Amino acid sequence: MALAVLGSCGAGSAEAAVFYSPDGLFVAEFPGPPTFTMTKAKTAKGTPFEERRWSTETTDGIWSVAAFLYATPRGTNYDAAVSGAVAAARGRLLSDQPIRQAGSDGREIVVKDGAGILRERIVSVRGNLYVIAFHGKDAAAAAALAVDEFLISFEAAG
C-alpha cells in the first residue's frame, strides 16, 4: 500500500497524509494510514462488482473511501444511491445536496444513525461509484474542518 506524507496535510493531525490507492484509482488525504478490504458481489440486476474500501479510525471517527467497480460501466442514479446509503446505515437522512467533485456531479449527504452522524460524498467517475465518508459520534465531529478537508481531498486518478 503506497502512502506518502507531503508536508502538513489538511486532514487534521500531524499524521495526515496523501494516500495514493495502490490500484491507481484515487488520491485522498487520510488522517492516518488506511487499511484495505475488498468484497465481490452483484447488483440487484446481476452486474458483478467489487467494493474496494480504504479506511482509518481516529478518536474523532471513521474515515473511508470506497470504490465500487462494475464489470460493465454504468450510469448512476443518485437518488437510488442516497436511498441505499441511508438504508445501509439504518438511519435518517438529514441533508442531501448536489456537489461537483473529481470532475463529476455527485451528492453529499448527512445521515443520523444509532451511533452518530454519517457524512458522505457519492460521486460517479467513468462508470464507477466512489463513496468518500466520515462517521463520527455527533454533528460537531462531522462538521469539523478536518472532515471538510478529507471529503474534498478526493480526486479520481487517470
Task: List, for residues 95-153, the tens digit of each pLDDT value.
Answer: 999 999 988 999 999 999 999 999 999 999 988 999 999 999 999 999 999 999 999 99
pLDDT tens-place string over residues 123-136: 999 889 999 999 99
Classify burial at 1, counting beta carbons within 10 Å of its beta carbon; exposed 0-12, middle 13-18, buried 19 or more: exposed
DSSP result, 4-48: E--SS-SSSSTT-EEEE-TTSSEEEEESSPPEEEEEEEE-TT--E
Task: Please tell me the pTM assigned to this model.
Answer: 0.88
For residues 14-20, give the mean pLDDT: 79
Instruction: Determine the pLDDT at residue 10.
Output: 44
Question: Which CATH code of 3.40.50.880, 3.40.1000.10, 3.40.640.10, 3.40.50.10470 fits the domain covering 3-156?
Answer: 3.40.1000.10
Residue 155 has pLDDT above 90, yes or no: yes
Percent of the chain topping pLDDT 90: 77
- Does pLDDT of 1 surpass 80? no
Sequence ranges of the domains in the chain: 3-156
